[in-house]
Amino acid sequence: MIVKFLNKISQRYASKWLVLLFDVSIVVLTFFLAYLIRFNFKIDFDVSTLLKQIPYVIIVASISLIAVGSYKGVVRFTGFKDIVNVIIGANILATILICCTFLSRKFISDDSIFNISGSIIYIHLLLNILFLIGAKLFIKSLYNHITQDVNTTANVLIFGAGNSGMLTYDAIQNDTKNGFQVVGFIDDDERKIGKKINLLKVYSISSIDEAFIKKYDVEDVIISIQNIDPSRLLQITGNLFSLGLKVKIVPPVQSWIDGDLSVGQIKEVKIEDLLGRDPINIKNPDLEDQYDNKVILITGAAGSIGSEISRKVSLYNYKKLILVDNAESALYDIQQEFKQLGLSNIDAIVADVRNKTRIDQIFNQYKPKIVFHAAAYKHVPLMENNPFEAVSVNIGGTKNVADIAVKHSVDKFVLISTDKAVNPTNVMGATKRIAELYVTCLKGKGHTKFITTRFGNVLGSNGSVIPLFKRQIEKGGPLTVTHKEITRYFMTIPEACQLVLEAAAMGNGGEIFVFDMGEPIKIFNLAKNMIILSGLRYPEDIDIKITGLRPGEKIYEELLADGENTKKTYHEKIMIAKSRFVDIEKAEKGINKLTSINSLTQPLEIVSSIKSLIPEYISNNSTYEVLDTKNNPKL
């Protein structure tokens, strides 16, 4: 009953005038104590004079506290600025009393109520600072204790005893509903280890063991270090996960709301945090002008990339957003997502980019000004076994949409490509490279500006390695990796799509945009990280099985082809690949011949035609290697 009553009271906020009355009462109390201290706790002073001075002190105290506005603060949320305000108010009070005492002695008399001993004023000042601050912090602590749900409180450690760590500590202390109780700090700096911050000890990571966890009943560790090295982050999380602890991380300071950290922003460590590079952040105010009042069409709009591009474009003041895909169910899902958000002027159209008549009809109806072409077949092993389908969609589909874009005077056409198009070793990559070649051939043949974006693997996309590993972990393993040394460049879906939007804005036509993705990541290490992030151990709980390279797969991916180099753009992470010379007439002739191939044509003939267009296409671990041997006996 008492707890319920206290909780009910705690939901209310005290009137600011009640807070002022409370503070003034403390000032009166400390004034009396100042007299007692000055006279060694004996009543060797004129009590009647003291009583006459109290109304005067009350008036001056009220003026001082109102001047600094300390009475307006919510006591339960008292912070550093509130404490500073109290100190300033106490000093203003002491200053006024000293000035009045000086004037009284000079112009009135020594018996005036304005004449207060200087020693009493200084003692009173110190007591005011001590008692006013102490009272507010006591009430704050009492409120936190009353409102804290003891059944849901988790003891946590904060990794990082610097500025970020202190801000995290303050955020937790000020949010009584977060369910966290900080029991200490962890830090790598030996100078801090063993010291105390807010009465909480700073520990070294090596001292956090099973005995420590059991002693302090620790459940979580919050990593609060800005710009932490991903390899160090992985090492820390690995150690903590092995102890059965949950690990959370504080986001970068630039993502804090209005410059302040809230407990709700502290999230579980994700695989994206271990990419090995800083996230790509692009802020370009010109993007709003690029998409303002434009009709925008996105092919492959139901896929991982296409749907995220759609979401990002929907944030702008577009005129009409056209979503095109032949995957009916997935397209329906993204359509319903937008409907639930209350977004209008969005049409979802089921259509296949291979159907030129249908695509032309859509362009004629909606007259788009910007086209994002994300429709493609992307799975390497499947396309290796189905080269006709790879050609018909990745090349033929791109050709259809690009030609129709020129016909209808689209302003910009953005092709979504892949790093597998660079020195390709498989059918999928080679067909995407030919798609790049084709849009390059169209440069200057009409009003449309053709822009290509080329990036690596996307974390979490449909069919990517992350969802595969998650499913394998859920089933108890093992995780399957094709080669222990295989590496890939990775980026998040939002990063990839932001790059696409930025490329559309900065592109003038004919460019292939690539960007700094950091160092490539070993898939074997990624698999181990996934196991660790799941709170399991490798290989005790879940093992990793090496299955061998799949047809067309290569160990290392590249972002630039032989003969290509880059030039900088205004964004340090984005570059333009300076492509080698292309014989446009020969390329167009070869592409037209390739896209006219009949479905009954043998795969070897199809791939042979692809190789004639892309001489750098050398098959790897594939039945099509025979074509390379035939064309080049040295292989």
State how far the Cα of 165 lies from the Cα of 169, in Å rounded to an integer.
6
Q: Contacts by 293-296 with C-beta closer than 8 Å and gap 24+?
A: 293/317, 293/318, 293/319, 294/318, 294/319, 294/369, 294/370, 294/411, 295/319, 295/320, 295/322, 295/366, 295/367, 295/368, 295/369, 295/370, 296/320, 296/321, 296/322, 296/368, 296/369, 296/370, 296/371, 296/372
What b-and-e string marks burial along 95-106, b requiring 16 or more CB atoms within 10 Å of the CB? ebbeebbeebee
3-state secondary structure of 356: helix
Find the catalytic residue in 294, 420, 449, 554.
420
Q: Is the peptide bond before 539 cis (omega within 30 degrees of 0)?
A: yes
Q: What is the token pair recorded at 177? A: 């509903």
81 is catalytic: no
State how far the Cα of 88 lies from the Cα of 129, in Å rounded to an integer.
9
DSSP classification of residue 593: H
3-state secondary structure of 159: strand
DSSP 123-134: HHHHHHHHHHHH
State how far the Cα of 85 lies from the Cα of 183, in Å rounded to an integer.
29
Residue that has been written with the tokens 């969005």 in this structure: 346
DSSP classification of residue 428: H
What b-and-e string marks burial along 395-411, b requiring 16 or more CB atoms within 10 Å of the CB? bbbbbbbbbbbeebebe
Residue that has been written with the tokens 């932490």 in this structure: 228
Catalytic residue set: 420
